Structure 1
């Protein structure tokens, strides 16, 4: 048996908004491991300006 729940459109928007806030906070505070677009090395980046320790190029990680 399956149960279908109809969500209020406002609830869905708020849920998405909160999920994005959590993701942005993680990027701002602890950073995430991403691939440098220049040298393809995996590095930890935070939101904003980052410098790749491998190739020394600047990466602007925008939200």
Structure 2
């Protein structure tokens, strides 16, 4: 069960049921942001790859 609805002009909310628990997530967007969503996702993925790479290096030390 997933439901997307507008909460206001700046964000959306979604509900998802996992097992017997229903989670509601509200996402808000900064209208003054200078970073696109693609830029943000790229930055997050690169940071995660670097973190995993560093963990592997630590395993060999």
TM-score range (shorter-chain normalised) is 0.3 to 0.5
More helix by share: 2
More strand by share: 2
